[in-house]
Structure 1
Amino acid sequence: MLELRPTCEHCNKALPPASTEARICSFECTFCHGCVEGVLQGVCPNCGGGFVPRPVRPAHDWKNGNFLGRYPATGKVTHKPVDALAHRELVGRLAAMAPHER
Structure 2
Amino acid sequence: MLELRPGCECCDRDLPPDSAEAVICTFECTFCRDCAENRLGGVCPNCGGNFSPRPIRPVHMLTKYPAATERTYHPGNCGDAA
Q: TM-score normalised to the size of structure 2?
A: 0.93
Kindly state the Cα deviation for residue 83 of structure 1 after the two structures are TM-superposed. 4.7
Runs of 5+ in structure 1 lacking a partner? 61-66, 86-102
User: Where do 5+ consecutive residues of structure 2 fail to align?
Assistant: none
2:64 to 60, 70, 76: 70
Instruction: Please provide the CA RMSD for this pair.
Output: 1.1
Q: Give 2:55's aligned residue.
A: 55
**% same residue:** 59
Aligned length: 79
Q: Deviations over 1:1-56 (max 9, x none)?
A: 10000000000000000000000000000000000110000000000000000000
- Which protein has greater RCO, CA pairs closer than 8 Å, 6+ apart? 2
TM-score, structure 1 length as denominator?
0.75
